[in-house]
Chain A
């Protein structure tokens, strides 16, 4: 049996046009809201169009009308069933001081794992460096070739510099650091897809490099220089990389699916908001770390006393710990996370 298509369209067209204009208006305004009357009207039009689609699919045969109705019903369905995903006006401050620290605390286990892997790498790298001092050039990639020289020689050179070495390329250096560190963070997250093996490898290797450098400087009696050099930017940069790795471990956890019977798609869907929050939070921190490394960390005594640099680094670390540990506790998580 075939319905009279043209008469059917003529009878329903007004409803379809109204639904089309309502959906278009809602899609164009991110902060839309409907009163009860409009919401009821939208639902009525959606159900009527859906019923028309069902009739067309059952009785008629024109693919053009079917396509039109499918597209219309799909748009309305997306709006009606995404009410919990309603686009609200984004508040950067509320996100950074509320959502971000709360997300961090919600997945503390992944962060602890990231710290443990990095520490493991540091211990391994440090041990290798103690056993075989010539291993430094093998373990540290050429990109960090400035660390190949003996620490005491470097310190003597840095402290005797009479001019501003960074003059004329501080901005370029800062932007290079930001771009490179954010890219590494993204890779740490993406490597979560390898069931976390890639993220662990990346973190461990970072730890090895750090361990080799720390042992090298301390064994050469340059612990104060090392702390003054690394702490101002490292107190932000290293936690930021660990936060990115935390996000990578969330991806890995969703891939593995241990302790849940949900399918991969559901697990991924649940992990996505936290992963995005953590990676963007890490990116913000890395922008700050890049500025500090370029404009502050590269200056040493007598230009900048080590005590000042170390105090600054410790202060930053305390503030970061307060941000991640305390901020966002008073806000309503349900309203914030939407």
Chain B
């Protein structure tokens, strides 16, 4: 039996392609639950305070409202929010988590109801010990409720398209490497997608780096890429390491546009 723990939920579609979603870990899920717990307790207190005003009319009615409100909030919070907010409670929203069907399909009400009703077992004996243990042991970080309902909790990553123009040298800037198309072609041939990804990501994230680390990183990258293609000294001598990498990325990702 394969006991590997997965960090991604990979869906293989009938059309023959794959896509994946990042699975949320037990710690992140526990933090989200703590926030939800605080909200639920706050809501219960609020409702109890409001219902206490009814005690002037009828103490009996006030007591009944408190009990029913507590019960409805305790069990209904997760069901209602996950149903109407596409798998997100407030805690999950804060931690960018979302409940999804483990086959990538739309969540049904039954799935949401079962995973929330099963909290009764998952939270035993205290602080989700049963659910937490199962979650840690499960390859997809599923608690019992998730296994019963066929759901997983995934992490929503930033889904905005990256600004590539910002990263590359740009069409309006001179790329000294472009004067040697045959060497550029050799460079494109030798660089693997992984190496290209590292160079592109370094440029996209350069402003968030500590200056010393930024210099060190681009020095290492430039040394690596210089060793892969022998551009003449007049094309590279005047370039800083970071400019060299910008030109390399420009060469890799915008070659056709330039032509």
Contacts and interface: CB of A to CB of B under 8 A. Distances in A.
Interface of A: 1-2, 4-7, 9, 13, 27, 47, 50-51, 53-54, 57, 59-65, 67-74, 77-79, 81-82, 85, 87, 90, 168-172, 174-176, 178-179, 182-183, 186-187, 189-191, 193, 251, 264-265, 268-269, 272-273, 275-277, 279-280
Contact of B150 (A6, A13, A268): A268
A54 B113 contact: no
Given A59-B193, A172-B63, A183-B120, 6 more contacts: A68-B159, A73-B17, A82-B106, A85-B105, A175-B64, A272-B111
Nearest to A47: B15
Interface residues of B, number: 69
Contact of A68 (B161, B194, B256): B161
Contacts of A193: 118, 121, 144, 148
Interface string B14-27: 11011111000000
B180 interface: no
Interface in B117-145: 117-118, 120-121, 144
A18 to B, nearest CB: 15
Contacts of A81: 13-14, 104-105
Contacts of B106: 78-79, 82, 85, 87
Interface of B: 11, 13-15, 17-21, 58-61, 63-65, 67-68, 70-71, 75, 86, 100-102, 104-106, 108-111, 113-114, 117-118, 120-121, 144, 147-150, 156-162, 164-165, 168, 188-189, 191, 193-194, 196-197, 200-201, 204, 252-257
Given A1-B188, A4-B255, A279 B117 contact: yes
B114 A276 contact: yes
Contact of A190 (B18, B71, B118, B191): B118
Contacts of A183: 71, 120
9 contacts: A5-B253, A78-B101, A78-B105, A85-B105, A90-B109, A172-B60, A179-B68, A272-B149, A276-B113
Contact of B254 (A4, A69, A179): A4
B196 A61 contact: yes
A165 to B, nearest CB: 13
Q: What DSSP secondary structure best describes chain B's contact surface?
A: helix
A178 B71 CA distance: 10
